[in-house]
């Protein structure tokens, strides 16, 4: 086996967490390698068409995530790929939605990684770890060039699935009490949508939608609907329950859509929509057999969904399928057990921690592992935000390793909030910065002085204090 090279920091996984982690590590002076199995960055937000980033703002209207994630948004806006943050009071209490065109986002992430000096290794799968004395020394990888080993002083697991941490021997959990994980869904992208028709239908049938669920805003459904002029105010809408019910009864729609309805997100490219209306349960996203089954079943549902949209949803009559997402959307797999485990209570109470390195405000957004139609929301009290402690990024029992993104240390329900892409980016910036500082100071991430990390993060635009 060939040892290729050594880096200060190796980031495995180039999703929202990993891309930001690598940029942060390189900007803070670390020689940084990013390993990604696909040929682009972004992970779920580019490869699974999760284009509406939630909760840059809490529902009180305070921005809670800045730094590199905000810079990404600014650059995508400049290239015409985003309308920016939209204060989302119409939908569930997620504070804000920020639609980002996936192709523009891929390009922006490439550019930012290159400018920071990140070495990108695409089309490469991490398959194992090099561990001695409970310390991760490197990662075994495979690609068209064969199997290789890359060594790093600090490794960041941003695989979403916690592959690296699990293979290195860190403890982890999957799913709820019975181990079953949240639903898996496939997003479809549809063109030639007539938005005015869609808006008129929503205004005429407000009780058929999830509207004004935000307990903090105090807005009534009627008030929300009367204010709804166009999709620049509410890019995402969920409902159409009566139409779905009718179609299911007639055998013209499958019965597995969210809450028995469909979610529609109008994209920055004007006449397009991204539609969530497919679900499957009992899929383990770390099992390739399960993933294969999910791809086939959800593509089948996606084609039924598109037929339904054209026949039943006003504004979709002349629409056409542009594409289904390149891969199914995985909400949950391994959650690595770290020095602190973020809970639903921490989220709901808006808890603050001395070792805060990132913030979140999305509600607990639990897509039931048992029932493909069921979603449970639990909101942050008072429309505020909660802290993510640095300890959630440090796996128990293993050194030189940090986790970022949806595999951080959290309970099933805690993760159901922290999994939102914006929060994943925020944990990525914290992990990347911590890794670079650890290398500079010659300490393991566990021993890093958190106050120094917090100072550096704040100097680099990260919001840690001063918001509810
Ligand atoms: C259907 C669905 C709807 C969602 N809706 C929203 C929403 O509306 N708003 C929102 O903000 N969030 C939403 N989310 C959540 C959010 O998109 C994800 O939780 C978040 O983007 C995860 O980011 P990540 O970086 O942790 O993981 P990922 O984005 O999954 O990135 C992990 C990366 O690691 C790579 N990788 C994995 N294993 C390996 C390996 N062994 N070797 C090399 N590379 C590897 C993958 O290819 C991937 O690029 C949704 C998620 C789903 C599934």
Count: domains in the chain: 2
Q: Output the CA 252–ligand 1 centroid distance in Å.
A: 31
Tens digit of pLDDT for each residue in 386-408? 999 999 999 999 999 999 999 99
CATH number at residue 83: 3.50.50.60
State if residue 54 touches ligand 1 by the CB under 6 angstroms criterion. yes
The answer to whether residues 196 and 143 belong to one domain is no
Tens digit of pLDDT for each residue in 56-97? 999 888 999 999 999 999 999 999 999 999 887 666 667 899
Q: Which structural domain, as residue segments, surrounds residue 227? A: 184-330
The answer to whether residues 160 and 190 belong to one domain is no
Identify the residue whose C-alpha is closest to ligand 1 atom 49: 43
Identify the residue whose C-alpha is closest to ligand 1 atom 31: 15
Q: How far apart are CA 314 and CA 296, in angstroms?
A: 28
Tens digit of pLDDT for each residue in 400-458? 999 999 999 999 999 999 999 999 999 999 999 999 999 999 999 999 999 999 999 99
- Cβ proximity of 355 and 459 under 8 Å: no
Q: How far is CA 416 from CA 178, 320, 421, 424, 446, in A?
A: 16, 32, 11, 12, 26
Domain membership of residue 156 (yes or no) is: yes
DSSP helix, strand, coil percent of the chain (3-state; round to 5): 35, 25, 40
The answer to whether residues 364 and 321 belong to one domain is no
The answer to whether residues 203 and 171 belong to one domain is no
Three-state SS for 223-262 is HHHHHCCCCCCCCEEEECHHHHHHHHHCCCCCCCCHHHCE
User: Which atom of ligand 1 is nearest the CA belonging to 276?
Assistant: 1
Q: How far apart are CA 190 and CA 211, in angstroms?
A: 23
The answer to whether residues 151 and 217 belong to one domain is no
Query: At which of 279, 297, 330 does a domain end?
Result: 330
Q: Output the CA 291–ligand 1 centroid distance in Å.
A: 14
Q: How far apart are CA 112 and CA 377, in angstroms?
A: 35
Q: Output the CA 45–ligand 1 centroid distance in Å.
A: 7
The answer to whether residues 250 and 128 belong to one domain is no
Q: How far apart are CA 80 and CA 84, in angstroms?
A: 10
Query: At which of 265, 300, 330 does a domain end?
Result: 330
Q: How far apart are CA 181 and CA 159, in angstroms?
A: 17
User: Which atom of ligand 1 is nearest the CA belonging to 163?
Assistant: 41
- pLDDT tops 70 at residue 190: yes
The answer to whether residues 319 and 352 belong to one domain is no
State if residue 360 touches ligand 1 by the CB under 6 angstroms criterion. no
Residue-level length of the chain: 468
Domain membership of residue 465 (yes or no) is: no
State if residue 50 touches ligand 1 by the CB under 6 angstroms criterion. yes
Identify the residue whose C-alpha is closest to ligand 1 atom 6: 50
The answer to whether residues 306 and 357 belong to one domain is no
The answer to whether residues 102 and 223 belong to one domain is no
Domain membership of residue 464 (yes or no) is: no
Sign of CA dihedral 3, 9, 14, 17: positive
Query: At which of 330, 348, 365 does a domain end?
Result: 330
């Amino acid at each position: 086996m060939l040892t290729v090279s050594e880096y200060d920091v190796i980031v495995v996984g180039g999703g929202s967490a990993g891309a930001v982690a690598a940029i942060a590590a390189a900007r803070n002076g670390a020689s940084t390698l990013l390993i990604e199995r696909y040929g682009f960055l972004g992970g779920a937000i580019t490869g699974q068409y999760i284009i509406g980033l939630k909760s840059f703002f809490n529902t009180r209207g305070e921005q809670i995530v800045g730094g590199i994630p905000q810079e990404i948004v600014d650059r995508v806006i400049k290239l015409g790929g985003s309308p920016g943050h939209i204060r989302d009071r119409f939908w569930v209490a997620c504070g804000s939605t920020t639609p980002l065109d996936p192709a523009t986002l891929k390009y922006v992430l490439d550019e930012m990684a290159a400018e920071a000096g990140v070495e990108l290794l695409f089309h490469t799968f991490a398959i194992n770890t090099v561990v001695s004395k409970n310390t991760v020394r490197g990662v075994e990888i495979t690609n068209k060039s064969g199997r290789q080993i890359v060594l790093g002083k600090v490794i960041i697991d941003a695989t979403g699935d916690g592959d690296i941490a699990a293979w290195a021997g860190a403890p982890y959990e999957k799913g709820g009490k019975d181990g079953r994980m949240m639903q898996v869904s496939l997003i479809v992208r549809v063109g030639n949508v007539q938005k005015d028709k869609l808006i008129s239908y929503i205004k005429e049938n407000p009780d058929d939608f999830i509207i004004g669920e935000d307990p903090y805003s105090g807005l009534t459904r009627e008030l929300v609907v009367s204010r709804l002029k166009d999709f620049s105010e509410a890019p995402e809408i969920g409902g159409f329950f009566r139409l779905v019910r009718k179609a299911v009864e007639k055998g013209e729609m499958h019965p597995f859509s969210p809450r028995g309805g469909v979610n529609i997100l109008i994209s920055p490219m004007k006449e397009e929509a991204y539609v969530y209306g497919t679900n499957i349960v009992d899929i383990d996203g770390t099992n390739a057999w399960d993933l294969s089954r999910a791809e086939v079943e959800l593509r089948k549902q996606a084609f039924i969904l598109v037929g339904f949209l054209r026949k039943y949803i006003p504004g979709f009559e002349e629409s056409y399928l542009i594409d289904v997402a390149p891969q199914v959307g995985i909400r949950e797999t391994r959650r690595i057990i770290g020095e602190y485990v973020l809970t639903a209570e921490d989220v709901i109470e808006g808890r603050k921690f001395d070792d805060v390195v990132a913030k979140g405000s999305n509600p607990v957004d639990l897509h039931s592992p048992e029932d493909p139609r069921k979603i449970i929301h639990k909101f942050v009290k008072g429309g505020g935000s909660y802290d993510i402690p640095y300890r959630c990024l440090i796996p128990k029992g293993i050194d030189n390793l940090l986790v970022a993104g949806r595999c951080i240390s959290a309970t099933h329900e805690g993760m159901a909030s922290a999994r939102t892409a914006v929060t994943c980016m925020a944990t990525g910036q914290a992990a990347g910065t911590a890794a670079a500082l650890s290398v500079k100071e010659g300490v393991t991430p566990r021993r890093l002085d958190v106050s120094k990390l917090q100072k550096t993060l704040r100097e680099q635009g990260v919001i840690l204090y001063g918001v509810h």
